[in-house]
């Protein structure tokens, strides 16, 4: 492991800690779980820093680790996450109901998607990543990312129209 790679990773994590937390939170919808996901992703990245061949890819490399950890935690805690979301709805009844309902609707719609589609939607619209960056993170080609994005948005649209 090169000392330079470690330093670059540490700088990246420090500079982007809020964004990394937001990605984890998008999957878990729970502060503690999101923090656990970020912590586990940091631990795994430090353990595997020698696998980072090109330091300029630290962002996409780390995002891949973070998303994999987020998906693991989401699958393990799916029922708990959904129950907590319902509690949030009930406790915020008088607090801008339209905005809360809209956010919950979007979240529920995203959660119904296959994990591959969900990941592309989150990275594109919540993290504002470019299609090329998403392709590197998901280890797919650009056309696959585009088709997943299109398919995910179509599925979300159909779900909204069904209601």
Tokens of 98: 């339209």
CATH 1.10.10.10 residue window(s) in the chain: 96-163
CATH 1.10.1740.10 residue window(s) in the chain: 1-91
Tokens of 80: 């708990």
Query: What is the pLDDT, as a whole number, of residue 20?
Result: 94
Q: Which residue has the tokens 């890819």?
A: 57
The correct CATH number of 1-91 out of 3.40.605.10, 3.20.20.110, 3.40.50.720, 1.10.1740.10 is 1.10.1740.10
What angle, rounded to 10 degrees, do the helices at 58-76 and 31-47 form? 130
CATH architecture of the domain 96-163 equals: Orthogonal Bundle (1.10)
Query: What is the pLDDT, as a whole number, of residue 90?
Result: 53
Is residue 129 exposed (0-12), middle (13-18) or buried (19+ Cβ within 10 Å)? buried
**Contact of 122 with 110, CB cutoff 8 Å:** yes
**Contact of 121 with 71, CB cutoff 8 Å:** no
Query: What is the pLDDT, as a whole number, of residue 94?
Result: 45
For the chain, how are helix, strand and coil distributed in percent, rounded to 5? Answer: 85, 0, 15
Query: What is the pLDDT, as a whole number, of residue 98?
Result: 53
Query: What is the pLDDT, as a whole number, of residue 108?
Result: 76
Query: What is the pLDDT, as a whole number, of residue 51?
Result: 87
Q: What is the pLDDT along the chain (163 residues), one digit of tens a residue?
A: 466 688 999 999 999 999 999 999 888 878 899 999 999 999 999 999 988 888 888 999 999 999 999 989 888 876 665 556 555 555 554 445 455 455 556 777 888 889 999 999 999 988 889 999 999 999 999 999 999 999 999 998 888 777 6
Tokens of 117: 């589609």
């Amino acid at each position: 492991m090169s000392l330079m790679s470690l330093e670059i990773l540490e700088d990246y994590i420090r500079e982007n800690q809020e964004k990394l937390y937001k990605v984890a939170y998008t999957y878990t919808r729970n502060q503690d779980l999101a923090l656990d996901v970020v912590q586990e992703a940091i631990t795994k990245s430090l353990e595997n820093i020698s696998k980072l061949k090109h330091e300029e890819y630290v962002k996409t490399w780390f995002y891949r680790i973070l998303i994999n950890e987020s998906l693991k935690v989401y699958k393990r805690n799916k029922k708990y996450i959904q129950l907590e979301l319902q509690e949030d709805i009930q406790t915020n009844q008088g607090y801008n109901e339209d905005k809360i309902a809209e956010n919950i609707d979007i979240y529920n719609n995203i959660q119904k998607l296959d994990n591959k589609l969900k990941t592309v939607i989150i990275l594109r619209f919540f993290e504002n990543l470019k299609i090329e960056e998403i392709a590197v993170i998901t280890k797919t080609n650009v056309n696959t990312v585009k088709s997943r994005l299109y398919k995910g948005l179509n599925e979300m649209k159909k779900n909204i129209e069904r209601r």
